[in-house]
Amino acid sequence: MKEKYDYLFKAVVIGDDGVGKSTLANYFSKPVIKGQRKAIGASFHVKIIELDHKDGLLKCKLQLWVLGGEGYEILRLPYYSGSLGAILMFDLTNSSSFEHLPKWIDEIREKLNVKIPIVLVGNKSDLISNRKVSQEDLENLLNDYSIPIYFEASAKNSLNVDNIIKELLKEIISVIETFDFDAFIKNAIYYDSKYTEEPKITYKICPNCGTKAYSKQHYCKVCRHKFN
């Protein structure tokens, strides 16, 4: 029997290679519901998360896509489609990964929407003696790019991973409740159980990766799943 949930969201994990994106996502998806799926330039993880909300306990099904870094731009960009949030990661012990953050922020906001929630994560906090990013530089970046949510984490030791995921979900729900959804992002992967009427749509959702596809498509353009 399929587990019921209140919301379905898609989000991306992005940043330079080697900053710990896959390690974070692997921890997130255990125990796995449908399993981890890999595609060229990305990997796919899914899990249902329980979240405290003003309306009570919510069950949110989150599809988390880990996108490739440098050298994967052509392969990476299609996987942004439908995302309602982003986890942007850098390595606290690697100053270059921090210096590249403006490029990643611009890419996220260009491919999605300026209102897309971004949770910034400084990973490898367990290696604090090797830290290369100053607190001053970090605060300047958060202010310059209006990013209110920042965590320092150790994906290797699972430190703060649960908090990162839950904060991202809270921000996505907050944005949806605050802004007109259609104006927020038109091609979002999104489901709200409160709506009982069958929507009049001309697209379908790939059961494999959650990407939106037109009803006449025979294959998913992202994961190549064949529709019945």
For the stretch 187-225, pLDDT in tens is 566 665 554 333 444 556 777 776 766 565 666 666 667
Residue 213 counted as domain residue: yes
Angle between helix axes 161-178 and 21-28 (nearest 10 degrees) is: 80
- Indicate if 187 and 204 belong to the same structural domain: no
What confidence score (pLDDT) does residue 121 get?
98
- Indicate if 31 and 66 belong to the same structural domain: yes
- Indicate if 223 and 153 belong to the same structural domain: no
Q: Is 95 exposed, middle or buried (0-12, 13-18, 19+ CB in 10 A)?
A: middle
- Indicate if 203 and 184 belong to the same structural domain: no
Instruction: Tell me the mean pLDDT in the region 34-42.
Output: 50
- Indicate if 140 and 214 belong to the same structural domain: no
Please state, in angstroms and rounded to a whole number, the distance separating the CA atoms of residues 112 and 86: 10
- Indicate if 27 and 84 belong to the same structural domain: yes
Higher-pLDDT residue of 40, 104: 104
| 60 Ramachandran zone, left/alpha/beta (phi>0; psi -120 to 50) | beta
- Indicate if 47 and 154 belong to the same structural domain: yes
Q: How far is CA 43 from the centre of its chain?
A: 12
Name, of 64-68, 72-76, 91-95, 156-160, the range with top average pLDDT.
Answer: 91-95
CB of 153 closer than 8 Å to CB of 125: yes
Predicted model pTM? 0.79
What confidence score (pLDDT) does residue 49 get?
93
- Indicate if 212 and 170 belong to the same structural domain: no
Q: Domain total for the chain?
A: 2
Instruction: Tell me the mean pLDDT in the region 123-149.
Output: 96
Residue 1 counted as domain residue: no
Higher-pLDDT residue of 145, 174: 145
What confidence score (pLDDT) does residue 218 get?
63
Instruction: Tell me the mean pLDDT in the region 54-76.
Output: 84
Pairing of strands 7-15, 85-91: parallel
Instruction: Tell me the mean pLDDT in the region 52-63.
Output: 87
In the beta sheet, which residues pair with residue 64? 11, 45
Residue 2 counted as domain residue: no
Where in the sequence is the domain holding 212, given as residue range(s)?
198-228
- Indicate if 142 and 226 belong to the same structural domain: no
- Indicate if 12 and 124 belong to the same structural domain: yes
Higher-pLDDT residue of 213, 78: 78
Residue 168 counted as domain residue: yes
DSSP code string of 144-187:
HTT--EEEEEBTTTTBTHHHHHHHHHHHHHHHHHHS-HHHH-TT
Instruction: Tell me the mean pLDDT in the region 110-117.
Output: 85
- Indicate if 148 and 214 belong to the same structural domain: no
Q: Of the ranges 140-144, 151-155, 180-184, 190-194, which one carries the lowest mean pLDDT score?
A: 180-184
- Indicate if 140 and 227 belong to the same structural domain: no
What confidence score (pLDDT) does residue 113 get?
79
Residue 126 counted as domain residue: yes
**Mean model confidence pLDDT for the chain:** 81
